Amino acid sequence: MFNKTRLQLVTLYSIVFFVLLNCFGAMLYFSTQQRLYAQVDSSLQKELNTFATLMNRQARRDNREVPYRPVRLMSYLFWDESGKLVFQTPRDLLDDSAIEALRAESEELGVHSVTLEDNVYRTVGKQTASGGYIQIAYNMEPERSVLGNLLIFIGAGGLVSVIIAVLAGYFLASRAFVPIQKAWEQQQQFVSDASHELRTPLSVLRIHLEQMFRHPERTVEQESRKISVMLDETQRLGKLVDDLLTLARKDSSQMELLKTRVNLHDILQSVVHGFQDMARLKGIELTADLEPHAEIQGDADRLHQLFVIVMDNALKYTKQGEIKVWLKTDGAAAQIEIADTGIGIAEEDLPRIFDRFFRADKVRNRKEGGSGLGLSIAKWIIEAHEGSVYVESVPERGTVFRISLPGGKTP
């Protein structure tokens, strides 16, 4: 399913990397060219000024050599006011065709380039006080050689950049797909588990309804057992749907907490009182040690739901013994501890107890009516309050949930 998208991402990343690498190569080439030309232009201007000073001193209009040591690859020309070449040094760097081409450029002021067959000259000129024209031409062969080698290097680098771009594109696409593929697999697992959980109560309802339909002569009293089972399954189905909607809204960021200043003592006391009768029926001692007026900024309804989920799990898996609820504040956070003496959780299952639909004992959990979503919702509520949860458990000895919620203080 992801192969086509992965290929598209690899192509996109490859193109981006290829363009970036080649843009870098182009920038390197043109910046080097500009720097070399700037150095040549600076040298030409300095030589022009020095040579012009010398020519003004000599004030000659003949072809005799002026005592001047030329720079390598530079040709020095002096034209009289009529455009006649009266001085050239050195004489072996320029042939007649080159001199004629430079004569045509003798009226151009400033530094500019002249192309003569396979050679490129950088030339600069200046009028003299006598009306003549001084011109210096520099053969750009060394600079062109440097730029040519650089261009070959960039071209070879461009071919290598294609391979690098493809490899980098594949690497980035693979990295980008890790969370996407993981999320997809989790979603697929979630849908599969949800379908399975929904199918079970629906199958029970269908079977009992079919049996009742086959015996329309039976009274409600005679079918009371089937009706009771269907009511239980309907209740279980409704709870499962509510839990699924809660998690779906959480995943889509549509679930917002209505935070106010709440008293955890009052919420926990209400939850404990709600479970007292059920604990008494099972012969379990339920005790609470709650610090009064322990307040935090939170959503009272969601916090009540959190404590109900944890308490329900503790009561569900405790066959005998006791359940203790403890609340205390330390100034920075409220610390809640719910401990039971139930069947406990195996060490290898502890890291997964907050996963959706995970149940350490699936047969027993299904019998007890659990869907495996409660602790996932509980963890979300804790994290939405910027809190943390830590679970300790020893099989056949019990489990302890330690919940920390920030902002706890006693007014």
pLDDT at res. 61: 45
Residue 263 tokens, joined: 């008293």
Of the candidate ranges 192-206, 232-246, 279-293, the one whose mean pLDDT is the lowest:
192-206
Compute the distance between CA of residue 238 and CA of residue 367 in angstroms, rounded to an integer. 16
Residue 45 is predicted with a pLDDT of 86
2 falls in which pLDDT band (50, 70, 90)? low
* Max avg pLDDT among 143-147, 338-342, 343-347: 338-342
pTM of the predicted model over 0.75: no
Say yes or no to pLDDT of 32 above 80: yes
Residue 395 main-chain phi, psi, to 5 deg: -50, 135
Residue 56 confidence class, pLDDT cut points 50, 70, 90: low
pLDDT band at 359 (very low <50, low <70, confident <90, very high): low
Q: Which amino acid is at 78?
A: F
CA–CA distance from 155 to each of 22, 32, 166, 404 (Å)?
9, 15, 17, 61
What local confidence, expressed as pLDDT, does residue 254 receive? 63
Residue 389 DSSP symbol: E
Domains of the chain and any CATH numbers: 3-148 (3.30.450.20), 260-406 (3.30.565.10)
pLDDT at 132 over 50: yes
Q: Please tell me which of 13-27, 165-179, 181-195 the model is most confident about, judged by mean pLDDT.
A: 13-27
Reported confidence tier of residue 364, pLDDT bands at 50, 70, 90: very low
What's the rounded Cα separation, in Å, for the pair 48 and 41?
10
Q: Which of 40-49, 210-219, 357-366 has the lowest mean pLDDT?
A: 357-366
CB atoms within 10 A of CB 55: 21
Report for 10-24, 80-94, 118-132, 262-276: range of highest mean pLDDT = 262-276
User: What are the tokens at 106?
Assistant: 């003798």
* For residue 258, pLDDT beyond 70: yes
Q: Which helix (H) or strand (E) holds 7?
A: helix 3-58
